[in-house]
Every structure is written in structure tokens, then in C-alpha cells.
Chain A
Amino acid sequence: MIEYAGLVGIDLMQLLATIVNFIIFFLILKHFFYEKVKDILAKRQDDVTAEVVGATEKNAAAAKLKQEYEGLLSDIRAREREIIRDAMIEGQAERKDLIDKAHEDAKLIIEKAMAEIELDKRKAMNEVKSNIVNLSIFAAEKIIDETLDQKKHEAMILDFIDKVGDAQ
């Protein structure tokens, strides 16, 4: 117990000497290094401040640039949308034109085909009509030739003689 008490005891003289040493050391340090350290710190402070200001300015410039780019990008996107819209409108108009043209062409083809069909139909009908007429006339000629006797011939000639005088 006595040994332990001796180990944790305070030596006032040593304490005083340490304090004096510290003070002396502090004064020496202050005398020789305080201004230098202070300058270094001030310079460092200035550098940091300058760097901060520079960084702030750069940030501001970057923000401005960003804003400009974003504006530009926005314009580009708007323009892009406009181009796409125009292209779509134009495409739709072209599509409509193509469809209209296709309809018109189809209409013309149908009309032409119908006209040709109608023409062929008329031609065929007229041909049939002509054949019927020719056949009828031929039959009429045969019947007349067979049925006209001398008296009928003479009657026709007399009728002609009567009328030819009137026709003067």
C-alpha cells in the first residue's frame, strides 16, 4: 500500500519546472515561429478564400452555362418536336395525297373499264342487231320473191306509174 502511494504522488518542484519549461518553450516558439505560422495560415486562408471564390465563380459560370445549355436543349427539343410534328403533318398530307391519287387512279381505271365494257356491249348488241336485220331482210326478200306473182308485179308497176307522175 505504501509503495502505491509513492507512485501516484505529485512532485511540486517537477510540476513547477515543467510549467516553466512549457512557458519558456511557448515563448521561444512564439518569438521565432508565431509570425511565420501566422503568415502561412493567413496565406493559406487567402488561398482557400481565393479558391472558394474561384470555385463559386466557376460554379456560377457552370450554372449559367448549364442554364444556357438547358435553354438551348429545350429549344432544340422544341424544334425537334416541331420538326417531328411538321414531318408528321407533311407525311399525313403526303399520305392523304397518295391515297387520294390512288383513289383517283382507281376511279379512272374503273371508269375506263366500264366505258370499254359499255362500248363492247353496244358493239356486240349492234352486231347482233345488224345480223338480225340482215337475216330479216334476206328472209323478206325470199318471201317477196316467192309470193309475188304476175298480177302483183303489174299492180306494183301500175302503182309506181301513178305515183311517178305525182312526184314532178
Chain B
Amino acid sequence: MSLVASKYAQALFDLAIEKNQLEEINSDFRTVVMILDSEEKFLELMLTPSLNTKEKKGILIRSLDSFSNQYIKNYLMILLDKNRFEDIFDIYEKFKRLSNEHRNLLEARVLTAIPLDETLRVALEEKMAKRFNKTVVLRNEIDKSILGGVVVYIGDQIIDGSIKKQLSQMKTQVNNIRLH
């Protein structure tokens, strides 16, 4: 992550704390990033040198008209003015980290072969919260290649309880047996 992205993220985080709008800004920023991530053409439009900053700002304001948070709108305009829009994903990642730390919150990506139902999701969140002593928010992704069980990506840790991992360990153990 670049130093510039860290500085921009820190600036937005400080503003959110100062204005006591961390939840709102975080939520709106996440929505913007999700839109940019899913709408490739929109991102290309924001980055293309064929349009000037004023035109890009016009498109962005019209597109984000439904957003209530003015700070996010202003922040995105600054990114366009400073020609830093291409760093928006890195900035969001850093901002999310700062925001989560402030709220004592950990996000976890959970891979399962079947969708987690609410009961299991809550049970897993509670276990993770207890283990890491933080509020844990799970994001469940379906990955049939793990065959069964669970893989949790949380912070810089990976907790792999999948059948695929067990088979892989078994394979390694058998391959390590020396034949004479």
C-alpha cells in the first residue's frame, strides 16, 4: 500500500472521527468502491485522460446524487482534483483498517462449500470474537473446491479447517514416506 493512499485514508478517517460520522462515511465509501469494482466502465471513465476533471466531476456528482453524505462526495472530488482517483481502492482498504481498529472490529472472509445459515454464521462470529477479543464481521463466500469444512481469512491469519487441506496434508505425509 502506497504512502499517499495511507495519508489520504488517514485524512478521511480523521474527518469522520471529528464529524462523528464514521459509520456513515464508512458505509458510503464502501458502496462507492463496490460500484467502481463492479462497474468497470465507470472506473475507466473516471481514469480516462480523454475527459477533463470538470467533466469527470459532473458525471460523478450525477451518479452519486443519491448519496446523502456530503463528505464522501467532497472527498471524491478532491481525489479527482489531485489526480489520485486511481488509488481509491488502496485508500479504502487503509480507511477500512483504521475504521475497524477504531471500532475494535475484525472482518473475516469465510469460505464454505455450502452457504452458511444464520445460526452457523452467528455461532462462528461469536467464536471468532471470543478468540480475537474483537467484534467480528463475517463475509461468507462459497467455494466448492474446499470440498467441505471451513476456511477463515481473518486479519493476517488463515484458519484452514477444510477437507481439501486435510487431504493435502495426507498427501504430503504419504509422499514423505521414503520407499526402500
Contacts and interface: CB of A to CB of B under 8 A. Distances in A.
Interface of A: 122, 125-126, 129-130, 133-134, 137, 140-141, 144-145, 148, 150, 152-154, 156-158, 160-161, 163-165, 167-168
Given A125-B179, A150-B114, A165-B130, A157 B167 contact: no
A140 B171 CA distance: 11
A122 B124 CA distance: 47
B131 A157 contact: no
A167 B149 CA distance: 16
A168 B132 CA distance: 8
Given A130-B175, A150-B114, A158-B120, A144 B147 contact: yes
Contacts of B174: 129, 133
Contact of A129 (B128, B148, B161, B179): B179
Nearest to A125: B179
Interface string B68-106: 000000000000000000000000000000000000000
Given A148-B113, A165-B130, A157 B179 contact: no
A129 B175 contact: yes
Contacts of A156: 148-150, 163
B170 interface: yes
Question: Lowest 7 A-B CB distances belong to which pairs?
Answer: A160-B161, A165-B127, A160-B150, A125-B179, A153-B114, A168-B131, A133-B174
Given A153-B114, A161-B124, A141 B167 contact: yes
Interface in B107-149: 112-114, 116-117, 120, 123-124, 127-128, 130-131, 144, 147-149
A148 B127 contact: no
Interface string B138-180: 0000001001111010000001010110010011001101010
Given A129-B175, A141-B147, A164 B127 contact: yes
Contact-residue bracket for chain B: 20 to 34
B175 A157 contact: no
12 contacts: A130-B175, A133-B174, A141-B167, A148-B147, A150-B114, A152-B148, A153-B148, A156-B149, A161-B124, A161-B150, A164-B131, A164-B152
Given A122-B179, A153-B148, A161 B163 contact: no
B128 to A, nearest CB: 7
Nearest to B116: A157
Given A126-B179, A129-B175, A148-B147, A157 B170 contact: no
Contact of A133 (B112, B114, B127, B171): B171
Given A145-B144, A157-B150, 10 more contacts: A125-B179, A129-B175, A134-B171, A137-B167, A144-B148, A154-B117, A154-B120, A160-B150, A164-B152, A165-B131
A129 B179 CA distance: 9
A79 to B, nearest CB: 63
Contacts of B177: 129
Contacts of A167: 131, 159
A134 B172 CA distance: 10
Contacts of A164: 124, 127-128, 131, 150, 152, 159, 161
